[in-house]
Every structure is written in structure tokens, then in C-alpha cells.
Amino acid sequence: MDFNDTAAEAEFRATVRAWLEVNAADYREPPEENWKLPEFIARSKAWQAKKHAAGYTGITWPKMFGGQGLTPMHSIIYGQEESRFHVPQGLYSIGLGMCIPTVFTHGQPEVIQRYVPKALLGEEVWCQLFSEPAAGSDLAGIRTKAVKDGDEWVIDGQKVWTSFAHASDYGIVVCRTDPSMPKHKGLTMFIVNMKAPGVTVKGIKQMSGGSDFNEVFFDGVRVADSHRLGAVGDGWKVALTTLMHERLAVGGKPRYAPGYETLMKLARGVDAPDGNPAIAASDVRQKIAQTYINDQGIKLTQMRALSALSKGQVPGPEQSISKVVVAKTMQDLASFALDMAGGDGFVAGADADPELAKLQGSYIGSAGLRIAGGTDEILRNIIAERVLGLPGDMRPDKDTPFNQAVPA
Amino acid sequence: MNFDFSDEAKELGEQAKKLLAERAGTGPARKAMAADAPAMDAALWAEISELGWTAARVPEAHGGLGLSVEEVAQLAEAAGGSLAHVPLVSTLLATEALVLAGTEAQQAKYLPGIASGAIIACVAWSEPGAVNPANVKTIAKGGTLTGVKQPVADLALAHVAIVVAAGEDGPQLHIVDLADADTAAVETVDLVRRHGTLTLKATPAEALGTAGDYQDWLDRAAVILAYEAIGTAGAAMAMTVDYAKTRVAFGQKIGRYQAVKHKCADMYIKLELARAHALHGLAMIGTNGAELRQAAAAARVASLDALAYCAEENVQLHGGIGFTWESDCQFYYRRNRALVAALGPRGWWAERLVRALEQRNRAAA
């Protein structure tokens, strides 16, 4: 066993590294203060165009759609190398990671021709409009409706938790087109112009104070039938393609999140209740061990997946445990460390210790991470049902027409 | 990146699981539980010796197959999953000590017999009253050992014991011929695997390597035992999942209820974390990697966590039937205690893990 690249991987890594050394030279250090949105967008677009010219966009996409036709391992190696720099990241991850693969899998040729190249080049930004106020974990409970009117569809309703909707040019939106069918059957997917009349985007301020998400309102928004993705009524199947691409993204502990080292460092400067240094306290040491086991365990589990990819195999189901472990571990560690710091762990703002401020951010952020992209509970359902083969949850509304309410 | 078992090791693991599914499992374990049952399944031992399982790790020069610790891990997992009533893991742990720390003469004396299955070896690690396993009370002096080791798995079957005793430089491995030793059976919570008490009174013994070798062996033993625990935990999880797919309550299979399925998911999560660390341990053994100490300790802790959770919730999710003598749940529940006793509790290994992390951080600073 080894953790080394194959010869071909090492060669690709060296090429990428050499290119980044020259082209990402401005991004060696993190920005002194966070970029405002217009600057972030401008920098993202410039960086994407640079990557595109060098052939580092759409690494795993088929060549016929402008991609490089390479393996997931190439894409991962590029990502690893790029992450050593502080280039602008995130603006395209949903569009290119999820939306556009759905477009080129289910779109008509002229639609693919029109949208895919501009998206890859970074000229146009995309968002994904799936979740609704009443359709989160129960995603198929979508109420936003699309009604056929000649060669067009008219969309009315509301979406929520839409990342980068405020910066997007286009989105893929799943709508209910036949409420007389059971919930999974009456859905259809469309491409929607985010600048079209009737689209209103409103930012959501989160518990953390940040605004990563939006509400999006549709009021009589018209979409050409040519912009339908997949057959009428196949929206659920199409959405699963999109979500499958989401799952391919290897998730791990966020880069900024404190780990066991933070607790170790902190415990050297704090007293335990018995007056001895906290680093000598058994509960602190057990917490350090548990945090290492969880975080490092996920990292190693991902290496198992990478190892499979590197050999051209399909990774096993084990990486499905990643987010559910990482998010809760982050919360537990932050909570434990802030407890240990007493009142200092509570003082925020300019008076806060920077290390403790980071833990406060991690404590608050982890509460969101436990929900985003599948709650802890839904992820446990997925592990139990898809990996262990247990029967699905009871779903009394699964087979009834959507417009016939099931009593709660 | 190649972070996986070799194809050869996987193949041996498949063969072992297949044979033990036929020849071991909870049925034979139940027979073995009877007070007058033999201390091992002698026919099975003969068969697996014939297949070369005990020879796997023994160098070819000493009549073995010279395979890697990956094969040993696969065998330990198969043994753990099937509760096989043979002293296989004891012998594998002792073999690892001889391969790691034995002199040429010591290896020549014992390894060929181990390879053929003629010599059964055990590990005498625990002591009565020992709270901190670092404070070994059995004393090595002038080529003899004095002290009491208990509980010792498979002691009644074994011809030789690898005994941990305190020498001048701290705890260290020794090898003791059990032909004339003072041994007695001791009852334990595990009713299948037999344990004993080894009383040493200036008993002749040969030192096996240095105090440093003992620490290195502990790492390797922790990884091998992690695979046994993973095997047992996996079997307990499979038993739970099977039951949740068939048992009906309130008009539904109980596996439909999230209270049940989320526990099954947690079993899987804990098992996969244990697998990740145990594989890391194997990778470090195979490459003499600098992270072996932390990887081994993490594998030990994570595997004990997985086993405790799977064994305990297996009984719980079976409900009343799971608490009956007739139910097979008790085998995993009781074996959990045996695997903790085999090499010390979770807390001690978590401390060893943190020390390894501190040492690495100091080295990096």
C-alpha cells in the first residue's frame, strides 16, 4: 500500500503545478479582506477564463461538450493543486458541477450548443432551483407549478436555499406540471433565465450573519418548451441525475474548520476544574482522540475512494458517511472547546481571542452544515436504505395524486 | 494511490470467510459454550493449518508462506466474524511477536511448528488488578519470570505463551514454554473462548527483543485485533439488519422506523471509521511508516467503539428475544468483553493515540 501518485498521475500533477505556479501567482496568500460580491464575480470570471484557455475546465466532461474527457482522478488532482492557492472559488461549483451536466445529459442539441460553452468559459453563471419552503428533505413535495401555454410554459411559485441566485444568469428549475399524478411523477425540469420578467431574487440572512442563499419568486415567468430538460413528467428522474453529480463531489471537513490540533493548543493554556492544565485532563484527551478518529477517519475513507478511482474502479459506498460525521464532529469539537474556555469562549467581536472566534464561527456554521445538502437524518436514511438495504420510510403520500391531500 | 488490500490478501479473506461460514458461526459457537465442550474445534484447526493460515506470516525460511500482515488482517476479520472456535488470532498475535522480535534461533525453534499447526501459541498480556497496562507487575529477572497473567485467551490449548513482563527497560516480550507451567482455567464473560490464569514463579523464559520491540508489537497487535473486532462487529450488524428486514411491529417491518434504521446507519458509520484507521495501520506496518503508533491506536479505539455499539444495539433492536439464552445476540455481546480484555481498554488506547499525536506535533515543530 502507498499514498503515492501513479507515474501518469504524478506527471499530470507536475504539469498542473507548474501551470499554477505561473498563473495563480497572485493568489499565493489569502486576500487581506474578503472580496465584495462584484469583485468576487469579476475575479471568478477572469480565473475561469484563464483555466479554460489552459484546458483545466470540464476535466471529466466528454470532449463533445467541450470537456477534456479525462478521469475523476485528474479532476481531483487539479483540485488538490488549486487548493494550495487562494483563487476565487464557488461561483461555478453548482453550475458546472451539477446544472450543466444535467443540461448536456437531457437537453436538446441546440440548447446544449447555446448554453454549455458559455457556462464552461465562465461567462454565464448558473444556479439550481430545487428546494422550496415545503420541499426540503421531502424534495418531491415541490409546489412551484409550470403550466403549458402554446409553445411556452408559465412558472409560478417559490424556491428557497438557492446559492448564488443573485449572481446567476440561468438556472435549472424543477416544477410541478401535473398535480393529478403522484408526487414523484408530475414533475418536469426546465432551464430558466434568471433575468426574465417575473423572477425576483431575495437574499436570506442566515443565523451566522452571512447570506449565501436566496429565496427566488416566480410570477408568471415564461419559458420556451425547447428549454425543457427531459420529458414532461420525468423531472424527478432528471433531478436525480443532478443530485448524483452532487454526490460525486468528495466532501470533507471544510478547510477553515478547526480540528483536534486546535483543541490541543487551547488546552495547554487553560486550567481544568482540578487546577491542573486542561491538556492533562482525561476528558480533554479523550475528546482530542475522538476528534482525530472522526476527522482523520473520514480523510482516510476518502483516500479509499480515491484509491478506487485511481485504479479505474467505482468507489464503494463508504464515502456516504462523510458529511454526517464531519458536520457533527465540527459541532462537538467547537462546543467542547468553547465550554473549556469559559467566559472567553463567549466574548465575541473585537474583544474575542482569534482562535476562539474561529471556534465560535465553527460552532454556528456547523449547525448549518448538519442540514445543508441532506440533513443528518436524511443521510442516515440513505445509508440504511441504499447501503444496508433496509426498507424505505413510511410514505403515506407516495402513491396518491399530489392534489389529494393526505391527512397529517 | 493504492490504499487498499492487495488482490491476494482479498482473495485469502474471501476463502477464509467462505470456509468459516460453513464450519463456524453461531451454531458451533453455541455447542462450544457447553461447560464440557472441548476448548477448540480440533478438526477445524487441522483444516485451517492444512490450508496454511497459521503459516501465512511465517517466513519461508521457517516453513511458512512469508505473506504480509494484510493476509493476517483478513484472517483475523474472518475469524472475528465467524466466532471460529480455534486459537487462530492468539497464534497470529504470537507469530507477529516472533517475526518482529525473535532471534534467528527463537524463530527456528517455534515458527516451523506454528506454521504447521503443531504449535499453538497464546499471548499473556493482562494481569489481575492491573489498572494501567503500562505498569506491568510480572517481573523478568535472570532468565525467569515471576507474576500472574490473567485472563489469557486460549491458554489451555497453547504450547507456548508470549508473556509481557517488566524488565530493566520497562515492559518487554518474553516467550515461555508452557509444558511445565502452572496454568488453570478461569471463567470469563465470554462463554465460548476459553481463558486461563498463568502463574509464573521464577519460571524460565527467554526475552523476545527489546522494550522498544514490545511497543512496536503492541501497535501491530492492535491492528490485527482491530480486524478481529471489525469482523465481530460486522457480524453483529448483519444480524441486526437481517432482523430489521423481517421483524414486523405496528404493521410495518421495523427497519422502516427511523429509530431502528438510524441505529443501523450508525453501526455502519462506526464500522467504516474503524476500517479506515485499521487500513491506515496496515499501510504503516507495510511501509514502516512514521504514523504507525497513532494509526494503530486509532484503529484499536475505533474498532472497540464499533464493536461495543454493534453488539449492544444488536440485543436492543431484537427486543426481548435478543435477551434470551436461545438468541445468538449474546455471542457478540460477550465477545466484545473478550476483545477489550485482550489488549486493554479504549481509554488507555485513546491516551496512547493522543501521546503519539503530541509527539508528532513536537517533531514537526
CATH at residue B132: 2.40.110.10
Is B227 strand, coil or helix? helix
Among B1, B275, B286, the residue with its CB nearest the CB of A306 is: B1
| Residue B133 confidence (pLDDT) | 83
CB-CB under 8 Å, A321 with B273: yes
Which residues on chain A are in Cβ contact (under 8 Å) with B275? 301, 318
Average pLDDT, integer, range B14-25? 98
One domain for residues B165 and B253:
no
Domain final residue, candidates B154, B188, B209: B209
For residue B285, being part of any structural domain is answered with yes
String of DSSP letters for A265-324: HHHHSSB-TTSSBGGG-HHHHHHHHHHHHHHHHHHHHHHHHHHHHHTTPPP-GGGGGHHH
User: Given a cut of 60, is residue A248 above it in pLDDT?
Assistant: no
For residue B2, being part of any structural domain is answered with no
The one-letter amino acid at B78: A
Average pLDDT taken over every residue of chain A: 93
| Residue A140 confidence (pLDDT) | 92
| Residue A316 confidence (pLDDT) | 83
C-alpha A106 chain-centroid distance: 21
User: Given a cut of 60, is residue A2 above it in pLDDT?
Assistant: yes
For the domain made up of A250-373, give the CATH fold: Butyryl-CoA Dehydrogenase, subunit A; domain 3 (1.20.140)
Residue length of chain B: 365
Chain A CA closest to residue B261 = A384
CA distances to A373, B132, B136 from B126, rounded to whole Å, are 47, 10, 9
Chain B, window 300-319: residues with a beta carbon less than 8 angstroms from a chain A beta carbon: 301-302, 305
Compute, in degrees rounded to 10, the torsion defined by CA atoms A75, A77, A81, A86: 40
CB-CB under 8 Å, B258 with A381: yes
Average pLDDT, integer, range A185-214? 95
Q: What is the CATH number of the domain that holds B278?
A: 1.20.140.10
Is B197 strand, coil or helix? strand
Which residues on chain B are in Cβ contact (under 8 Å) with A388? 241, 261, 264-265, 268
CB-CB under 8 Å, A306 with B272: no
| Residue A373 confidence (pLDDT) | 84
Tens digits of residue pLDDT in A209-241: 988 899 999 999 999 999 999 999 999 999 988
User: Given a cut of 90, is residue A312 above it in pLDDT?
Assistant: no
For residue B219, being part of any structural domain is answered with yes
- A126-247 maps to which CATH number? 2.40.110.10
User: Given a cut of 60, is residue A250 above it in pLDDT?
Assistant: no
pTM more than 0.90: yes
Tens digits of residue pLDDT in A374-397: 899 999 999 999 999 999 988 888
Among A1, A264, A318, the residue with its CB nearest the CB of B286 is: A1
Which residues on chain B are in Cβ contact (under 8 Å) with A282? 347, 351
| Residue A251 confidence (pLDDT) | 59
The one-letter amino acid at B352: R
For A149, list phi and psi in degrees, rounded to 5: -145, 95
Cell of B170: 520497562
Band of the pLDDT at B165, cuts 50, 70, 90?
very high
Average pLDDT, integer, range A233-258? 78
Give the count of Cβ contacts less than 8 A between chain A and B.
153
One domain for residues B14 and B40:
yes
Average pLDDT, integer, range B165-173? 95
| Residue B171 confidence (pLDDT) | 96
Residue with cell 474583544: A351
Domain final residue, candidates B79, B96, B118: B118
Chain A CA closest to residue B298 = A293
CB of B323 closer than 8 Å to CB of B317: no
Q: Is A294 on the interface with B (CB under 8 A)?
A: yes
CB of B255 closer than 8 Å to CB of B261: yes
Which residues on chain B are in Cβ contact (under 8 Å) with A4? 1-2
Lowest mean pLDDT among A228-242, B124-138, B304-318, B333-347: B124-138
Tens digits of residue pLDDT in B228-257: 999 999 999 999 999 999 999 999 999 999
d(C-alpha A83, C-alpha A44), whole Å: 14
Cell of B330: 449474546
| Residue A249 confidence (pLDDT) | 54
Chain A CA closest to residue B286 = A1
For residue B40, being part of any structural domain is answered with yes
Domain final residue, candidates B103, B118, B133: B118
CB-CB under 8 Å, A318 with B283: no
| Residue A41 confidence (pLDDT) | 96
One domain for residues B275 and B343:
yes
Band of the pLDDT at B219, cuts 50, 70, 90?
very high
User: Given a cut of 80, is residue B272 above it in pLDDT?
Assistant: yes
Q: Is A314 on the interface with B (CB under 8 A)?
A: no
CB-CB under 8 Å, B294 with A289: no
d(C-alpha B69, C-alpha A345), whole Å: 46
ipTM reported for the complex, 2 dp: 0.96
Q: Which of A9, A215, A246, A355 is catalytic?
A: A246
Tens digits of residue pLDDT in B85-128: 999 999 999 999 999 999 999 999 999 999 999 999 999 999 99
For residue B1, being part of any structural domain is answered with no
A100 Cβ neighbours under 8 A, 6+ residues apart: A115, A116, A119, A120, A126
Tens digits of residue pLDDT in A316-354: 888 889 999 999 999 999 999 999 999 999 999 999 999
Q: Assess whether A246 carries a catalytic annotation.
A: yes
Q: Is A147 on the interface with B (CB under 8 A)?
A: no
For residue B227, being part of any structural domain is answered with yes
Is A146 strand, coil or helix? strand
| Residue A313 confidence (pLDDT) | 87
d(C-alpha A352, C-alpha A364), whole Å: 15
One domain for residues B195 and B244:
no
One domain for residues B18 and B96:
yes
User: Given a cut of 60, is residue A247 above it in pLDDT?
Assistant: no
Tens digits of residue pLDDT in A136-156: 999 999 999 999 999 999 999
Q: Where are the domains of chain A?
A: 7-89, 126-247, 250-373
User: Given a cut of 90, is residue A256 above it in pLDDT?
Assistant: no
One domain for residues B227 and B181:
no
Which residues on chain A are in Cβ contact (under 8 Å) with B302? 293, 297
One domain for residues B227 and B320:
yes
Domain interval for residue B240:
213-364
The one-letter amino acid at B209: G
Cell of A311: 485504479
Chain A, window 243-262: residues with a beta carbon less than 8 angstroms from a chain B beta carbon: 260-261
CB of A356 closer than 8 Å to CB of A344: yes
Share of chain A above pLDDT 70, in %: 97
Q: Is B354 on the interface with A (CB under 8 A)?
A: yes
Q: Is B272 on the interface with A (CB under 8 A)?
A: yes
For residue B85, being part of any structural domain is answered with yes
Average pLDDT, integer, range B143-154? 97
CB of A86 closer than 8 Å to CB of A78: no
Compute, in degrees rounded to 10, the torsion defined by CA atoms A400, A402, A404, A406: 70
| Residue B210 confidence (pLDDT) | 97
Q: Is A308 on the interface with B (CB under 8 A)?
A: yes
CB of B205 closer than 8 Å to CB of B236: no
For residue B65, being part of any structural domain is answered with yes
| Residue A408 confidence (pLDDT) | 64
- Residue B44, min C-alpha distance to chain A (Å): 31
Among A264, A289, A301, the residue with its CB nearest the CB of B350 is: A289
**How many domains in chain B?**
3
| Residue A245 confidence (pLDDT) | 67
Average pLDDT, integer, range A6-17? 96
